[in-house]
Amino acid sequence: MPSHLRTYPNRSRWVTLAIVAAVVVALVFGFLVFYNSRTTPVSADTSTPIASAGATNAASNPGESTKPPQTPSPASSPSTQPVPTQPPVNPVTGRVDTLDGLVPDYKLPPIENGMVPVITKIPTTQKVVFLTIDDGAVKRDSDLQLLKDNGVKASLFLAQTFIIGQPDFYQQYIKSGFLIENHTISHNLGFLSLGYAKIKAEICGMSDFEEAHYGRRPVLMRPPGGPYSNAARQAAAECGIKAIVDWEAKANAGGMDYQVGAGLRPGDIVLMHFRPEFPADLAAFLTAQKAAGLKVVLLEDYLGVK
Ligand SMILES: [Zn+2]
């Protein structure tokens, strides 16, 4: 048979097959669209396929970059009224802390060989910075107001010699969520050469004084001027201190001084003082903190110590 007589019916068969296939595909697609529209949530505007895929990723990879999971809408809770959220109280510290949901990735080393650890920064890449304010020589309500206006909390390392006449001035700091720590009794810059018994008396005496006046025993201690020794670390441990805290950067004379580099880094502990230039120092700190994109967190909250 000549080939041209065979090809014609073959071609028509293929055309028919193509039409049938197209109809089948259209039916399947139509069914899928219909089924999808019946099974996806109606109210939420997150019901697009893209949002669903995102939610799936979030569920299977509960990592860092995703936002806190939105409340899934289980079928068992028909009334999904948002419950007004209280600020979370940290179960360890008992405080409404400054972490704002951040989970610290650092744990304070334990006391070893009877000596507290010494920290000048927290080794973390989390975008946090810690402010500490020392001595207590200048006492002005306006300084606390500045801290409050800027939403900044700090650990206050006070020495008895600076606050003995007016310890109650710092009660308002405590009410505002600041914590008071140990900077010794006399702020003696020759502290380390005093001998163990006197070093211990300087530390334990200040812890006793602060516990009596403020109702909380300090957990952190800063030696006058910063230098420390094994004897100081041991005495601190015996007084109930958990760490000696020095610093990586200072807000000083209206500017910033850095031990390393030219800006604040994640985890840095910053030193300031209650001095006449407090407003300028705080402004310098805040400028550096914002430039570095760091959140000011209370050191004790990050360390999870009471
Ligand atoms: Zn000091």
Per-residue pLDDT band for 18 (boundaries 50, 70, 90) equals low
Chain-centroid distance of CA 150 in Å reads 17
Q: Is 75 helix (H, G, I), strand (E, B) or coil?
A: coil
Q: By 3-state DSSP, what share of the chain in percent is helix, strand and coil, each rounded to 5?
A: 40, 15, 45
In this structure, of 36-45, 167-176, 178-187, 204-213, the range with the lowest mean pLDDT score is 36-45
In the DSSP assignment, the letter for residue 161 is H
The rounded Å distance from CA 225 to ligand 1 centre is: 6
Per-residue pLDDT band for 87 (boundaries 50, 70, 90) equals confident
d(CA 40, CA 53): 12
Residue 73 has pLDDT above 70, yes or no: no
Q: 186-197 pLDDT, tens per residue? A: 999 999 999 999
The rounded Å distance from CA 151 to ligand 1 centre is: 24
User: What is the chain's mean pLDDT, rounded?
Assistant: 83
Enumerate the β-bridge partners of residue 255: 252
The rounded Å distance from CA 223 to ligand 1 centre is: 8
The rounded Å distance from CA 134 to ligand 1 centre is: 5
- Per-residue pLDDT, 222: 98
The rounded Å distance from CA 110 to ligand 1 centre is: 25
Chain-centroid distance of CA 305 in Å reads 14
Question: What's the mean pLDDT in 225-236?
Answer: 98
Phi, psi of 214 (to 5 degrees): -115, -5
Q: Which residue has the higher pLDDT, 293 or 46?
A: 293
Structure tokens given for 280: 């300028």
The rounded Å distance from CA 57 to ligand 1 centre is: 51
pTM greater than 0.85 (yes/no): no
Among residues 248, 247, 255, the alpha carbon closest in space to that of 282 is found at 255
The rounded Å distance from CA 158 to ligand 1 centre is: 8
Q: Which residues surround ligand 1, an ion (CB under 5 A)?
A: 134-135
In this structure, of 83-87, 120-124, 249-253, the range with the lowest mean pLDDT score is 83-87
Q: 157-169 pLDDT, tens per residue? A: 999 999 999 999 9
- Per-residue pLDDT, 16: 59
- Per-residue pLDDT, 88: 78
Q: Which residue has the higher pLDDT, 125 or 31?
A: 125
Residue 67 has pLDDT above 50, yes or no: no
- Per-residue pLDDT, 84: 66
Residue 76 has pLDDT above 50, yes or no: no
Which percentage of the chain shows pLDDT scores above 70?
A: 73
The rounded Å distance from CA 303 to ligand 1 centre is: 22
The rounded Å distance from CA 141 to ligand 1 centre is: 20
34: left (phi over 0), alpha (psi -120 to 50) or beta: alpha
